[in-house]
Structure formats: structure tokens, C-alpha cells
Structure 1
């Protein structure tokens, strides 16, 4: 593991914090202490805490954890309503280490209206642009292809979580030609042409049909590495919500190997994340 590496996507949860009415599950206790104990097992000490959908726009659990770890080793990606957020609140979060906002299109049952989504993206971009924050999208590739035209023009950094949630069930040439994944060519084209898009290498077990040998994940990761190795960041997705108990170490090891094959280990595990999350 490169010195100073970052885990760009993980969560802390606790039953002590109130759930949103739309919460899809009830969390166990996955505290910051638990998180850092896990990170030590894979050689990491720098983390990006991402707001889980179960808490809606109440970021209290995440913010309390950021206060504890400090901005030198922690970053945060929050959720908020763009129609009801005060500049002072954003500034106070920024001081704690928040560097992004999460838009979740996968863990909700809301319809994906393209024009409504584009209008929302413009609102969020206008709000976070002065802070140089990231707009993180939990979105699938076939939704992403509908908004690729607007991403380059908004003047903020975008990050797509979990490989873009690929639908490997419809991958005709699985697991060989990753460009055949529905929507993948839109992602690789955008990565090649836009200078403001990153992708998280994470959450493979949520989509791969061969989770044990990660054949599909390997093909996709290598395609993305060959397309834009400077636009990829590693993430563990700990504590693997709804997949608790998963051993992610084989995935970490594979990612190190795949990145090393493309002479990109320092990039994927450290340098890209430091730039994306504005880490000095």
C-alpha cells in the first residue's frame, strides 16, 4: 500500500442517530473506531466518509466522526437540500473536512426525470463551486449516459461511485470485453474527454456475477485504467452495508495488482484522491 493512501468511500453508522423516514435498513454500530481498526488491516489511515442514504440529509453521524478524526486524515461527502442550505453551514462543514455532496439516484425509488436531474445538478454545482467541492453521483451507467452532456459544462468536479453501478447481467460478452457493459462506452468517452470526472473503484460485490474471482470487475477496472488512470480512486465501501461480514481484502489486493500493472498504484490509491478531495 502506498504511503499516505486514501480510502475514498466508507461509512460510519450508529443506532444512536435518527433514521430518515425513507431508510431502507436499520444500521448496526459501525463507529469511527471500528472503521479505523478495519483500515489498519489494509494499511490505510486516511478516509473519506460518505453520507449513507439511511440518514437522509441529517449528517450528524458523519460530522461527529469528522470532528474526531480531524481534517488532516478525514474528508466528508454530505447530503443536503439545495433549496435549504445556508452558506455559513457549508463553511462550518468545510472547516471540518467536508469536500463534497452526494446525490443518490440508486438507493431511492424516485423516478429519473432527465430534465429535473439536470436542473438539480446545476443548483448543486452553483452551491459547491465556490468551495471547490465534489458532486458525487451514485448513479447507474444507463442513467449517467443521459446527463453526460451537462457534466463538462458545470465547472465542478464530479465523481461516480462504485464503477457507475454496472449492470453485469446484461453484459453480452461477460467477462471479457468490458466496453460491452451497457452504458460503459458513455463513461469511458466522458473520462477521456472531460477533465472534471472521476470514478471510484469500489463496491464490486454489489454488481459482479463472479464475485469470488472478480472476473467482471477485473475487466472493467483494467478498461478504466487504460482509459484514464489519473481519474480513478480506490475505495473499500466499508462496512459493506447489507453485505456485512464481507472480506474485502482480496479486492484490495487485486486492485493493487491491477493498478501496478498500469504503473498507477500511487495514482489510484493516493495522488488522485488527494487532488479530488483537496488534500494538502
Structure 2
């Protein structure tokens, strides 16, 4: 497992607001539930308790638990984590093609708010089928879709993707080569995870600034903990980078308000 460095001190500048941070991208890896080897990789455990310890001092007021490639379409771990973490947390899941409307409604009631497509780690490559499933899920339960891919590989599908009703791109689109495609999607209404700064091959401050210049409501902060397969995991300076790049007002949109508006956590009335 990548090294996780808990934040137990204070930011160099006191940027924290009363409503805290919403962690828009985290993984819970609970060995009590099924795990799948993906490309020869199986992650080390990272339980709810591990997550709470790793984020001690960050003033986390909710978050999005994201299903990884190594969890397939299993919902059992996700439902257990949502129950443990409470109503300010939501789920982002992977779904089988044959899932019923009734099951979608059950997951929505439990706090799941998005479907994820992992194009980066050997996942679905049929863009047409992906888009059909994303549209169906949006029509039934109003969820957006989240796409983990190098944005440069999305360029041939730009017209189709622009037509999606609601979409989020993970980890700043990963590459400098994908930046034009990423910004074109932002112009079409896509949101972008301000996450995984240790994963990307691009100028993070310049990319954050370019996205915020188009739409300051597009950025969604997340720790990406535990940082599986990342060259370096989240660190406290990533939050400071948001403030220094975006200014405090837009940074707090990215750190909290944008995510709450997008994910609609069950406890959001008490968070916002």
C-alpha cells in the first residue's frame, strides 16, 4: 500500500472554514468483502477506521466513497462503509449492465449518487454502451457518471461525451496531452476531480486555474486516499495548493460546496 501520511498539524495559513471539507474521492478497502486482482494488483486493506485516522485534523464533513477496479460491481463493502461513515458520505459505484431499476432505487436510498466507468485499468472500452448505461442511470435515479481515463483518449468521443447529462472526470484528466479535451468537456458542463496530484503528468496549478477560469463550480476536491498505485499519496500541501492557486473563495467551492451540490448527501442540510 502507498504510504499514507496523516495530517495532524495545521495549514500554514488558516484557511479552514466552519463547514470543513467534503472529500470527493476516497477508497475503502475492507478485506471482509470480495476483492478482485486487477492487472495483477490487489490492494492492502484500508478500512473506515484507517481512513478516519489518516484524515484526523482535516475537518472532513463528508465524502464520496469510490469503487475501485479491484472491487468490481460488489455493493456489499460500499453499503457497509456508508452505514459506518454516516449520512454525510455518499457512494460512487460500478454496476452490471443488467441491474434492475428497483436495485438502482435501493442503492440511491442507501446514499449512492454516481456510477463510475474505469477506462484506465482495463475496464469497459465500449463507449457507446457506457453512454447508454450512464443515460439510463441518470433517467432512473438522477446520478451523474464519473470517468477514470486519460483525457487524451477521450478526444475521439468528445461529441458523444458532451451530450451526457452529468459527468465528472477523475484526477484532472491525468495528462497534459489530454488538457484540451478536458477543458472542452468543462465548457460543456463537466466537473473535474481535483485529486490524485501525485498521479498526473501535467502542471497542476495551471490546470486548476484553467478549469476554474471556465467554471469555478467545476472542481471537486478529494484526498484519493489511500492512493493505491499512486507514485505519491495525498498530503496536506495539496489543500494549500488549492488555496494558493484559486484564492480562498474558489478554493472553498472546490473543497466543499461544489461537491455537496453535486452529490446531495443525505445529511447535507446539516453540512452546508
Task: Name the TM-score, length of structure 1 as normaliser.
Answer: 0.82
Deviation at 1:276, TM superposition (A): 1.0
Following the alignment from structure 2 to structure 1, what is the Cα–Cα distance between the partners of residues 237 and 256? 19
- 1:171 — aligned with what? none
- 2:3 — aligned with what? none
Deviation at 1:140, TM superposition (A): 1.0
Matched, 1:268 2:263: no
Match of 1:61 among 77, 80, 102: 77
Distance verdict in 2 for CA 1:102–1:24, change over 3 Å:
farther
Matched, 1:146 2:156: yes
Following the alignment from structure 1 to structure 2, what is the Cα–Cα distance between the partners of residues 118 and 95? 28
Following the alignment from structure 1 to structure 2, what is the Cα–Cα distance between the partners of residues 228 and 127? 25
Question: Is the Cα–Cα contact under 8 Å of residues 82 and 111 in structure 2 kept in the other structure?
Answer: yes
User: Aligned with 1:101: secondary structure?
Assistant: strand
Distance verdict in 2 for CA 1:24–1:252, change over 3 Å:
farther
Matched, 1:207 2:204: no
Question: Is the Cα–Cα contact under 8 Å of residues 209 and 245 in structure 2 kept in the other structure?
Answer: yes
Matched, 1:40 2:56: yes
Matched, 1:237 2:224: yes
Give deviations 1:215-238, integer Å, cap 9, x for gaps.
Answer: x21221122222221111111100
Tell me the matched-pair count.
Answer: 250
Matched, 1:184 2:179: yes
Question: Is the Cα–Cα contact under 8 Å of residues 223 and 234 in structure 2 kept in the other structure?
Answer: no
Deviation at 1:124, TM superposition (A): 2.5
Distance verdict in 2 for CA 1:24–1:256, change over 3 Å:
farther
User: Aligned with 1:264: secondary structure?
Assistant: helix
Following the alignment from structure 1 to structure 2, what is the Cα–Cα distance between the partners of residues 23 and 93? 28
- 1:164 — aligned with what? 173
Map residues 1-280 of structure 1 onto 2, 5 A cutoff.
Answer: 1-2=16-17, 3-22=19-38, 24-71=40-87, 73-82=88-97, 84-108=98-122, 112=125, 116-155=126-165, 157-166=166-175, 181-192=176-187, 194-195=188-189, 197-208=190-201, 216-243=203-230, 246=233, 248-260=235-247, 263-279=249-265, 280=268
Distance verdict in 2 for CA 1:267–1:201, change over 3 Å:
same
Deviation at 1:154, TM superposition (A): 3.2
Task: Name the TM-score, length of structure 2 as normaliser.
Answer: 0.84
User: Aligned with 2:215: secondary structure?
Assistant: helix
Deviation at 1:21, TM superposition (A): 5.0
Deviation at 1:246, TM superposition (A): 3.7
Deviation at 1:40, TM superposition (A): 2.8
Deviation at 1:244, TM superposition (A): 8.5
RMSD, matched Cα? 2.1
Higher relative contact order (CA 8 A, sep 6+): 2
Contiguous gaps of at least 5 residues in structure 2: 1-15
